[in-house]
């Protein structure tokens, strides 16, 4: 499929779409005018696609510096009467939370939808938090699609709902929904055209401080209005077609309540094992559809709650049972039927149901001992820093500097951050000792520097620095903290697939944009020692680290070299082995650990297709066995 | 349950696994079949293992249960071993015999012959193919995914026609590669059909 078809496709068209592509189609059908994000997997592709399609779809789109800014851009657009969309990974919602919470109070005029992508089983995240808790916390309605068609339909519906009740609406996906592909039938596209030169239409902000300025004098009333909305929306969740009984049979003893990706497993396990009970599928789960759930429960003896991450439906169901004085046994996470953590699949759901129902036969297959041994012995294939990655050179260099200064690894704490460079956790670099969140390396540097006598080396990427590294750097200078902050400026937001950030002269719509200088920012924060270095010059890296570690203030080293995955970079010729000089010391393999260098049949081998010609290995080799390609 | 078919596709980041799976999915849709697919993005792209799961015919879940795949299609020998959880005694195990040796690992890479031997001791349908070699013969090592796509269409139980898979390929890849890709699909098909 050509991505443009997400804009040009007409009602009735069918496409095989990624969940995130379906979300974009939903946004286009809803006639959104303003969209903003900070990239985060599993939601990243939504931004990548909008970045390409925004102009064709009459949408203003930006990669904001962080999720909080994105939330504010969307909130003000919606306050001005436009339809707005912001989206992020689940932990991104934390970053935005301060403003997010207030948007529930102030409400909206145009529809505003917040898509938050959860990551059960932590494929690319630091935790498994459940966005549904935020719906309760903020008192905001939430929709939970289970498949790609529902992603599209629910995103579109969420805008109508938001506009009807003047409240932002959350759409919660999980990795398995965002990164599922399925058949999506398109609907009609709302007209969002404008005569403006820059594509998107403009709204108008009608002043009303009692609605939009939550000073104590007004915020109390805002809270009352919020509850009024939620009570009305609760009537709707009890009626909504998104909360429906899926009738697989008419068993009156057992039933299942489920939502999101977990529903898919519950459905398939029942269908393919001929388990003849009905499933109440909750797609519009907050405010909790208590009446619908009570109706579903009233004839049952036992109910299974199949939901991923937190036992939210389970607790709400127990509350309904208590209030309605029903005699129904609940099996879920709280009684150990299903796990309290990690994503589900059909096997896990079947195992849980089997604990009560005993329908599965034990089908253990015996394999040969040689197969079991082979399974144990295969080498792992963990993600690694790419050949030619500038981060590798910096990690190698700092470890050399530490060694040459007579320090032991335990003498230096590496405060890491969120990006590709977190891969520095692996040997031989061992360059990640502590990590909390986006931008935390800088605040962590402050804390370690006053709490220990150890040296502290903080590492942060360019995009992460803009995201939330600047204010803790101001803290570091003002409070006289002593650590070395390395900004790994690889000229892109690499980890999430290569989005632009304020450090490069291009914006989210592909237009030219002012470049914000990290060096000038560090100087403006008050840092006296700011050095911009070429990471591929090993001597310079080592010398700069030694200098920085000798200081007793906040020293900033900016490693400036583009990510090797950036398209259109001219590649340098690959490094060549001078076999006669090789002493087989293995330093290039074991200490540099570049994926382009390996030892095959006792001989150093450079993979010519992988080598990026960064030439760091040449500087590592003491015997002149590696030379630059020509 | 006619037309139910699950394929577990695995290999290494950069081998074209997601594109191959998407082509099969689109072909299924065009043949009027229900299809769902699962893929993992993010960390797996930095040279790590990559897998997709594709289920044709009436499934809600896009994840294949244990031992429930009709085909395991592997782009790399040891990734085949990692995918065996999804395999049963009837599963067709098709894999490319060309290894990609992982960097920074302390375990030696097992010989491909020993992998094939061990697999054949345990499973009925073990189908190693020299995919990388066939891809290079077709015009580029990058055509490996097309060779393996051709191999899938050769399975008698596979519910899609080779023609619909080729149409979907053409809809998803640049015209200048079509000739090479067709050659690669054909050679993959023949390597299974003989």
pLDDT above 90 for B24: yes
Is B45 within 8 Å of chain A by CB?
yes
A291's tokens: 């009446």
DSSP 3-state of A508: coil
**Inter-chain residue contact B118 with A426, CB threshold 8 Å:** no
- Please report residues of B whose CB lies closer than 8 A to that of A381: 12, 47-49, 78-79, 102, 105
Inter-chain contact A16–B29, Cβ cutoff 8 Å? Answer: yes
Strand, helix or coil for residue A214: coil
Which helix (H) or strand (E) segment holds residue B73: the answer is strand B71-74
Q: Which of residues 50-89 of B touch A (CB under 8 A)?
A: 58-63, 65-67, 78-79, 81-82, 84, 88-89
Q: What is the mean pLDDT of residues A447-462?
A: 98
Which percentage of chain A shows pLDDT scores above 90? 92
Asked if the model's pLDDT at residue A168 lies above 60, the reply is yes
User: What pLDDT sits at residue B1?
Assistant: 47
The count of C-alpha atoms lying within 13 angstroms of the C-alpha of A606, restricted to the half-sphere facing its C-beta, is 24
More confident position, A382 or A310: A310
The whole-number average pLDDT for the span A506-534 is: 97
CA B107 → CA A376, A562, B97, distances in Å? 10, 32, 19
Distance from CA of A481 to the nearest CA of B (A): 33
At how many degrees (to 10) do helices B178-193 and B162-172 cross? 150
- Under a CB-based contact definition with an 8 Å cutoff, are residues A317 and A294 in contact? no
Per CB-CB distance under 8 Å, the chain A contacts of B13 are 383
Distances (CA, A) of A92 to A171, A262, A376, A421: 14, 23, 37, 19
Is it the case that residue A370 has pLDDT exceeding 60? Answer: yes
Q: Would an 8 Å CB–CB cutoff place B48 in contact with chain A?
A: yes
Q: What is the pTM of this model?
A: 0.97
Contact: A383, B79; criterion CB under 8 Å = no
Range scoring the smallest mean pLDDT among A26-40, A455-469, A472-486, A568-582: A568-582
Residue A361 banded pLDDT, cuts 50, 70, 90: confident
Task: Specify the pLDDT at position A197.
Answer: 84
C-beta atoms surrounding A323 within 10 Å: 10
Q: Which residue has the higher pLDDT, A146 or A497?
A: A146
User: Which pLDDT does position B48 carry in this prediction?
Assistant: 84
Distance of CA B136 to the CA centre of its chain: 17
Kindly determine whether residue A363 and residue B110, on different chains, have CB atoms separated by under 8 Å.
no
Burial string for A401-433 (b: 16+ CB within 10 Å, else e) reads bbeeeeeeeeebbbbbbbbbbbbbebeebebbb
- Selection from A250, A145, A153 nearest residue B60 by Cα: A145
Nearest to A595 by CA among A402, A383, A422, A420: A383
* Predicted pLDDT at A601: 80
The answer to whether residues A79 and A106 touch, using CB atoms and an 8 Å cutoff, is yes
Q: How far is CA A502 from CA A7, A303, A506, B24, in A?
A: 28, 51, 8, 39
Chain B positions in Cβ-Cβ contact with residue A147 (cut-off 8 Å): 36, 60
Residue range A450-476: mean pLDDT, rounded: 98
Mean pLDDT of B97-116: 87
Give the distance from residue B67's alpha carbon to the nearest chain A alpha carbon, in angstroms: 10
Spell out which residues of chain A touch residue B82, defining contact as CB-CB under 8 Å: 378
Which candidate from B43, B59, B65 shows the least CB-CB separation from A383? B43
A386: distance to nearest CA of chain B, Å? 7
The DSSP bridge pattern shows strands A278-282 and A243-246 to be: antiparallel
| The pLDDT of residue B105 | 64
Give the integer Cα–Cα distance in Å for A587 and A589. 5
Q: Does B160 touch chain A (CB under 8 A)?
A: no
Distance CA A278, CA A267 (A): 9
Mean pLDDT of chain A: 96
pLDDT digits (tens, 9 = 90+) for B137-189: 999 999 999 999 999 999 999 999 999 999 999 999 999 999 999 999 999 99
Contacting residues of A for B88, CB less than 8 Å apart: 365
Chain A interface mutation, best of B41, B68, B110, highest count of A Cβ atoms under 10 Å: B41
Sort out which chain A residues have CB atoms less than 8 A from B40's CB and list them.
Answer: 123, 175, 179
In angstroms, the CA B122 to CA B124 distance is 7
Looking at A72-86, A342-356, B3-17, B24-38, which range is the least confident one?
A: B3-17
* pLDDT exceeds 90 at position A569: no
Residues of chain A contacting B102 with CB distance shorter than 8 Å: 379-382
> How many inter-chain contacts (A to B, CB under 8 Å) are there?
166
Q: Which residues of B touch A371 (CB under 8 A)?
A: 84, 118-119, 121-122
Across the interface, whether the CB atoms of A345 and B65 are under 8 A apart is answered yes
B175 contact A CB<8A? no
pLDDT at A488: 98
ipTM score = 0.96
Query: Is the minimum CB–CB distance between B188 and chain A shorter than 8 Å?
Result: no
Shortest CA gap B188–chain A (Å): 24
The pLDDT of residue B3 is: 77
Interface check for B156 against chain A (CB to CB < 8 A): the answer is no
Q: What is the dihedral of CA B77, B78, B84, B87, to 10 degrees?
A: -10
Tell whether the model's pLDDT for residue A609 goes beyond 90: no
Closest residue in B to A427 (Cα) is: B104
How far is A456 from A553, CA to CA, in rounded Å? Answer: 11
Residue B46: the pLDDT is 66
Burial class (CB in 10 A: 0-12, 13-18, 19+), A274: exposed
What phi and psi, each to the nearest 5 degrees, are found at residue A62?
-140, 145
Q: In this complex, do B62 and A597 lie within 8 Å of one another by their Cβ atoms?
A: no
- The answer for B 118-147 residues in CB contact with A (under 8 A) is 118-119, 121-122
Nearest to B47 among A18, A268, A595 (CB): A595
CB contact under 8 Å between A264 and B107, yes or no, is no
pLDDT confidence of residue B20: 96
Residue B44 has pLDDT above 90, yes or no: no
At B45, is the pLDDT very low, low, confident or very high (cuts 50, 70, 90)?
low
Calculate how close chain B gets to A181, using CA atoms only, in Å: 5
Q: What is the mean pLDDT of residues A566-582?
A: 92
Distance from CA of B193 to the nearest CA of A (A): 27
Give the other-Cβ count within 10 Å of A603's Cβ.
Answer: 11
């Amino acid at each position: 499929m050509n991505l443009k078809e997400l804009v040009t496709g007409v009602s009735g068209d069918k496409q095989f779409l990624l969940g995130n592509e379906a979300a974009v189609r939903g946004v286009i059908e809803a006639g959104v005018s303003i969209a903003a994000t900070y990239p985060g997997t599993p939601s990243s592709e939504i931004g990548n696609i909008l970045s390409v399609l925004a102009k064709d779809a009459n949408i203003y789109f930006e990669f904001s510096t962080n999720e909080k800014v994105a939330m504010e851009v969307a909130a003000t657009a919606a306050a001005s009467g436009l339809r707005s969309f912001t989206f992020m990974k689940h932990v991104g919602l934390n970053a935005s939370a301060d403003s997010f919470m207030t948007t529930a109070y102030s409400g909206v005029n145009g529809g505003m939808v917040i898509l938050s992508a959860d990551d059960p089983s932590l494929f690319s995240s630091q935790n498994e938090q459940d966005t549904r808790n935020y719906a309760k916390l903020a008192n905001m309605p939430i929709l939970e699609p289970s498949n790609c068609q529902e992603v599209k339909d629910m995103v579109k519906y969420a805008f109508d709902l938001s506009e009807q009740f003047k409240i932002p609406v959350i759409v919660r996906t999980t990795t398995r929904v965002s990164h599922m592909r399925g058949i999506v039938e398109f609907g009609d596209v709302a007209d969002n055209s404008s005569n403006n030169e820059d594509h998107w239409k403009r709204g108008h902000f009608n002043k009303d401080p009692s609605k939009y300025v939550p000073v104590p004098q007004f915020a109390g009333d805002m809270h009352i209005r919020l509850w009024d909305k939620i009570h009305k929306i609760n009537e709707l969740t009890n009626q909504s077609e998104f909360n429906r009984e899926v009738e697989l049979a008419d068993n009156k003893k057992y039933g299942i309540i489920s939502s999101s990706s977990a529903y898919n497993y519950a459905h398939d396990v029942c269908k393919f094992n001929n388990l003849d009970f009905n499933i109440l599928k909750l797609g519009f789960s907050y405010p909790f559809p208590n009446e619908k759930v009570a109706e579903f429960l009233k004839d049952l003896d036992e109910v299974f709650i199949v939901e991923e991450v937190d036992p939210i439906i389970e607790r709400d169901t127990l509350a309904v049972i208590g209030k309605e004085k029903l005699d129904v046994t609940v099996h879920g996470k709280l009684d150990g039927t299903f796990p309290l953590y990690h994503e589900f699949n059909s096997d896990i759901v079947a195992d849980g149901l089997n604990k009560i129902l005993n329908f599965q036969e034990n089908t253990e297959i015996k394999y040969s001992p040689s197969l079991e041994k082979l399974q144990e012995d295969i080498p792992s294939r963990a993600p690694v820093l790419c050949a030619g990655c500038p981060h590798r050179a910096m990690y190698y260099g700092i470890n050399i500097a530490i060694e040459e200064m007579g320090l032991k690894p335990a003498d230096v704490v590496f405060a890491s951050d969120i990006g590709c460079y977190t891969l520095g956790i692996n040997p031989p670099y061992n360059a990640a000792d502590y990590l909390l969140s986006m931008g935390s390396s800088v605040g962590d540097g402050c804390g370690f520097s006053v709490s220990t006598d150890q040296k502290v080396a903080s590492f942060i990427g360019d995009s992460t620095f803009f995201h939330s590294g600047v204010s803790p750097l101001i803290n570091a200078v003002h409070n006289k903290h002593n650590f070395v902050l390395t900004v790994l400026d690889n000229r892109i937001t690499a980890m999430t697939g290569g989005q632009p950030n304020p450090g490069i002269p291009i914006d989210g719509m592909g237009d030219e944009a002012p470049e914000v200088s990290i060096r000038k920012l560090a100087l403006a924060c008050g840092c006296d020692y700011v050095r911009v270095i070429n990471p591929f010059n090993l001597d310079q890296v080592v010398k700069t680290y030694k200098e920085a570690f000798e200081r007793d203030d906040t020293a900033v080293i900016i490693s400036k070299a583009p990510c090797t995955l950036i398209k259109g970079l001219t590649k340098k010729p690959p490094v060549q082995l001078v076999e006669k000089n090789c002493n087989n010391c293995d330093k290039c393999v074991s200490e540099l650990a570049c994926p382009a260098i390996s030892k095959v049949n006792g001989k150093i081998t450079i993979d010519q297709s992988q080598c990026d010609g960064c030439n760091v290995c040449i500087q590592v080799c003491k015997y002149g066995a590696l030379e630059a390609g020509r | 349950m006619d037309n139910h078919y699950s394929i577990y596709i695995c290999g290494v980041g950069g081998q074209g696994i997601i594109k191959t799976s998407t082509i099969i999915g689109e072909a299924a849709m065009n043949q009027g079949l229900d299809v769902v697919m699962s893929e993992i993005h993010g960390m797996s792209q930095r040279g790590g293992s990559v897998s997709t799961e594709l289920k044709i015919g009436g499934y809600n879940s896009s994840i294949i249960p244990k031992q429930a795949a009709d085909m395991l299609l592997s782009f790399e020998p040891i990734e085949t071993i990692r995918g065996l959880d999804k395999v049963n005694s009837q599963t067709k195990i098709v894999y490319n015999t060309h290894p990609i040796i992982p960097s920074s690992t302390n375990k030696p890479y097992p010989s491909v012959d020993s992998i094939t031997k061990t697999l054949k001791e345990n499973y009925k349908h073990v189908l190693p193919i020299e995919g990388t070699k066939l891809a290079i013969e077709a015009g580029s090592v990058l055509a490996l995914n097309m060779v393996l796509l051709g191999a899938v269409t050769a399975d008698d139980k596979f519910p899609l026609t080779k023609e619909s898979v080729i149409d979907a390929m053409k809809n998803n890849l640049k015209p200048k590669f079509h000739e090479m890709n067709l050659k690669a699909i054909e050679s993959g098909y023949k390597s299974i059909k003989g």
